[in-house]
Amino acid sequence: RQGIGLRKLGKTADEFQQDLLSNLYYRRGTTVESASARDAYEALAQTVRDHLAERRARTAAAQFASNPRWVYYLSAEYLLGAQLEQNLLYSGTGDLAAEAVKALGFGLEDLEDLDVEPGLGNGGLGRLAACLVDSLATRDIPAVGYGIRYDLGIFRQVITEEGQAELPDDWAFHGNPWEFPAPDDRQAVGFYGHTEPIPGSTTRKVWVPGEVVLGEPSHMLVPGFGTETVNIIRLWSAKASEASFDLSRFSAGQYAEAVQEAVRAENISKVLYPDDSTELGRELRLKQQYFLVSCSLRDIVRRFRLRNEGWDTFADKTVIQLNDTHPTIAIPELMRLLVDEYEVEWEQAWEITRRTFAYTCHTLLPEALETWPVRMFEKLLPRHLEIIYLINMLFLREVEARFPGDHDRLRRMSIIQEDPERRVRMAHLAVVGTEAVNGVAELHSKLLRETVLDDFAALWPAKFQNVTNGVSPRRFIKIANPRLSDLITEGLGDDSWVGDLERLAGLERLADDASFRERWQAIKRANKVDLAAGDPDSLTDVMIKRFHEYKRQQLKLLHVITLYQRIRQNPAADWVPRTVLFAGKAAPAYHAAKDIIRLIATIAARIEADPVVSPYLKVVFPSNYNVTLAERIIPAADLSEQISLAGKEASGTGNMKLALNGAVTIGTLDGANIEIRARVGEDNFFLFGLDAYEAARARINGYQPRHFYERDEELRAAMDTLTSGVFGEVGRRVADSLLGWDEYLTLADFRSYLECQEQVEKSWRDPARWTRMSILNTAHSGFFSSDRTVADYAARIWRVAPVPVPRED
């Protein structure tokens, strides 16, 4: 097959134009004269996709030839964001494209509006997966991300009189131009059924599944920035097998029954669970998890076997990173494949498995640690339960040998929880079956070792690591904030900072340059004008994240109510005008979180209608927060609200995106806030509230929210307003929950927060000072690039090196 040359893709404006035109005619069957915006969009997407596909082909060849250790990232969620702009940037075809579509009578922006974001994730964890695969490709690391191709992504949020309502997100309605179907690589996944012993073997078993579902992969291209590498994420879609269509029932006119089994099978990848903490004990969720795991592991094993190497090299050629416990069944599944299907001895299989996996934990909330009822496991995955029991027995033997007679320790550490019902503890399985366990920020990793996983840290101290999260500088500055990007490039002399974010430190010297500061400030203002959320000269105060009580949107609301009351009492004073912007979704079944959304809408309307207060205070709630909206809000933010109760937010990544774009943080000593503050400097960060140890102690010492209510007049006034019912029943419910128990110590931190906000206003009144703080935040946030995060994983956990892809000749 040698000597066959590829027709080169257009590299000049004329050639690119030609390619675009070909796609318009031959793929869309449309003429230039009759092309709609959608025709133009589809033709452009095809043209850009071809550029990436060509690189992809070279990448696959180069990576296969180097026979590296592969990184496989397993994640139930990928929150990728819109693809067109990123792909234009990464393929270097942005300018060509702008010119070419202009000739068709369209602007690039019009076409970008048609580019739908695949919302295949809930929030932080899914977005982190997207940033990490971006940086893996940027660092030339051979990697595949595995996930689920949900037909319906995270729901579309609409705000009504009753608060949040949810609509289905049929993201691929118009088709998805960025996807490459690979039906030949489909896999069969078993569920239910029973196991049978194999005569003469104590460890091997035959699993006879009761149901078989097909997994069909398609991939999305993941280009690296400033490199030739194009990796992929492989997303599995559930398909009923032919046999599940009941032709005899159909012939008998029982149409619904005829397809019942097929519908059941295909429901597995129908919809993303819209919950970002717990969705207790749903069988379909466990099915999704096993579906992802089984398809992906068979694909990984298939790829390994292409080389005909012995199993003893499997872990040298494979590392599988588990994005939280959601894909943890991969541990017993690999054991099952090795022991039952490939007849590897249990001890060798266990060694391979442990050396292959690593686990990232993303929480500290005890209720967010996944457990599954043993009964459910037994029914759905009978063979996996047997394997888990065996793993647990051998593990507890190890514990017993180290801590003889310590029965309480055995009970605490067991993979099986006994009371009040028998459940499988996925985090314990993940720690036992992996070589490395990491938290996602310094404090988080430390608290993991000291609290939820303390027994495991005592047994295996070397297993526990920290890898602080990071974000993609391409998506969250270069693309989201073009004005600031251009100024940074000018200030630093070149644009190498986009792929080497620590270079932002060079901006430090410009923080004292008055003309640079003025340009910086003018850009913030222009971004606010674009966002059109409020007066561009007001302090734009943003809290953008999922709604959860621990994140404490309630605390921000108490601040708003207090400002409202202060302004009413003294309308003539010199108030700092503020626009408070909230955005985020609540899990549909999380009523307390939805109450808070409704309360925000109520208070926003009340302020809007008040002529005394509205000149100084505005509350806005743009609906349907997603990656695309984040890219518009973040560049316009002055103040970044990171006010979770210390010890609850594992890391946060929105905090990094905002700091990078020159928003100043007001925050607690929680998650990555601590590391942000250490880097940007105490003077450029507004700190308030209890620390994690003080918070834990307060709870132990019998914390009483009423104590704070009684001693703080303004707090009492704000709470009484809620209780009075002027903001409706929701106001009452929120107040009752705070006064009754206040799980997240909102009232305890209220005064400290308000005083800190006064410091914010003092700084804001001095624009030179504020702008200096803003510049220094950007200058010292280079550490929070996901390129650095990936470099950390590569060096300390994966032990992998880059495989550069040669340029096209």
Binding-site ranges for ligand 26Q (CB under 6 A): 122-125, 128, 273, 275-279, 285, 362, 370, 440, 469, 649-653, 671
Query: What is the C-alpha separation between 376 and 382, in angstroms, rounded?
Result: 9
Provide the minimum distance between the beta carbon of 171 and ligand 26Q in the complex, in angstroms, as a whole number: 18
Sign of CA dihedral 651, 461, 425, 435: positive
Q: Which is nearer to ligand 26Q, 390 or 696 (CB)?
A: 696
Helices (H), 665-745: 673-680, 692-700, 705-711, 713-724, 728-740
Q: For residue 162, what are its two tokens?
A: 């009753």
Q: Which is nearer to ligand 26Q, 321 or 771 (CB)?
A: 321
Query: CA–CA distance from 551 to each of 367, 584, 650, 746 (Å)?
Result: 15, 12, 11, 10
Query: CA–CA distance from 548 to each of 153, 168, 258, 587, 743 (Å)?
Result: 20, 21, 43, 9, 12
Provide the minimum distance between the beta carbon of 232 and ligand 26Q in the complex, in angstroms, as a whole number: 22
Say which of 51, 234, 326, 362 is annotated catalytic: 362
Amino acid at residue number 787: D
Provide the minimum distance between the beta carbon of 453 and ligand 26Q in the complex, in angstroms, as a whole number: 16
Say which of 205, 545, 559, 578 is annotated catalytic: 545
Q: Which is nearer to ligand 26Q, 416 or 440 (CB)?
A: 440
Provide the minimum distance between the beta carbon of 652 and ligand 26Q in the complex, in angstroms, as a whole number: 5
Say which of 93, 371, 653, 789 is annotated catalytic: 653
- For residue 735, give the H/E element and its range: helix 728-740
Provide the minimum distance between the beta carbon of 283 and ligand 26Q in the complex, in angstroms, as a whole number: 11
Q: Which is nearer to ligand 26Q, 224 or 470 (CB)?
A: 470
Provide the minimum distance between the beta carbon of 643 and ligand 26Q in the complex, in angstroms, as a whole number: 13
Say which of 444, 517, 528, 657 is annotated catalytic: 657
Active-site residue, 194 included? no
Neighbour count for residue 25 (Cβ, 10 Å): 14
Provide the minimum distance between the beta carbon of 443 and ligand 26Q in the complex, in angstroms, as a whole number: 11
CA-wise closest residue to 1 among 67, 68, 61: 61
Q: Which is nearer to ligand 26Q, 244 or 640 (CB)?
A: 640
Strands 464-466 and 436-439: parallel
Q: Which is nearer to ligand 26Q, 23 or 288 (CB)?
A: 288
Which of helix, strand or coil describes residue 198? coil
Query: CA–CA distance from 67 to each of 105, 228, 347, 480, 798 (Å)?
Result: 47, 18, 26, 37, 15
Q: For residue 260, what are its two tokens?
A: 């019942």
Query: What is the C-alpha separation between 676 and 777, in angstroms, rounded?
Result: 9
CB within 8 A of 368, min separation 6: which ones? Answer: 277, 278
Cα dihedral: 517, 522, 523, 525 (round 10): 130
Strands 194-197 and 205-208: antiparallel
Query: What is the C-alpha separation between 577 and 616, in angstroms, rounded?
Result: 4
Query: What is the C-alpha separation between 88 and 44, in angstroms, rounded?
Result: 10
Strands 70-74 and 318-323: parallel
Provide the minimum distance between the beta carbon of 436 and ligand 26Q in the complex, in angstroms, as a whole number: 16
Q: Tell me how far apart the terminal alpha carbons of the chain are, to the nearest angstrom.
A: 18
Could you say which DSSP state residue 189 is in?
E
The pair phi, psi for residue 483, each rounded to 5°, is -65, -50
CA-wise closest residue to 744 among 699, 687, 706, 681: 699
Query: CA–CA distance from 261 to each of 192, 240, 267, 292, 293 (Å)?
Result: 14, 8, 10, 20, 22
Q: Which is nearer to ligand 26Q, 363 or 777 (CB)?
A: 363
Q: Which is nearer to ligand 26Q, 366 or 405 (CB)?
A: 366
Are 503 and 784 in contact, with CB atoms under 8 Å apart? no
Q: Which is nearer to ligand 26Q, 430 or 510 (CB)?
A: 430
Q: For residue 165, what are its two tokens?
A: 């309502």
Provide the minimum distance between the beta carbon of 770 and ligand 26Q in the complex, in angstroms, as a whole number: 27
Q: Which is nearer to ligand 26Q, 119 or 124 (CB)?
A: 124
Provide the minimum distance between the beta carbon of 388 and ligand 26Q in the complex, in angstroms, as a whole number: 18
Amino acid at residue number 49: R
Active-site residue, 551 included? yes
Residue whose C-beta lies closest to ligand 26Q: 124
Active-site residue, 546 included? yes
Q: Which is nearer to ligand 26Q, 221 or 794 (CB)?
A: 794
Q: Which is nearer to ligand 26Q, 333 or 649 (CB)?
A: 649
Q: Which is nearer to ligand 26Q, 322 or 715 (CB)?
A: 322
Active-site residue, 1 included? no
Are 365 and 648 in contact, with CB atoms under 8 Å apart? yes
- DSSP secondary structure letters along 351-412: HHHHHHEEEE-----GGGS-EEEHHHHHHH-HHHHHHHHHHHHHHHHHHHHHSTT-HHHHHH
The pair phi, psi for residue 382, each rounded to 5°, is -60, -40
| CA-based radius of gyration for the chain | 27
Provide the minimum distance between the beta carbon of 397 and ligand 26Q in the complex, in angstroms, as a whole number: 30
Query: What is the C-alpha separation between 774 and 679, in angstroms, rounded?
Result: 13
The pair phi, psi for residue 372, each rounded to 5°, is -125, 140
Provide the minimum distance between the beta carbon of 16 and ligand 26Q in the complex, in angstroms, as a whole number: 38
Say which of 449, 546, 556, 585 is annotated catalytic: 546
Query: What is the C-alpha separation between 263 and 87, in angstroms, rounded?
Result: 35
Q: Is 532 left (phi over 0), alpha (psi -120 to 50) or beta?
A: left
Which of helix, strand or coil describes residue 148? strand
Provide the minimum distance between the beta carbon of 132 and ligand 26Q in the complex, in angstroms, as a whole number: 10
- Give catalytic residues, as residue numbers: 362, 545-546, 551, 653, 657
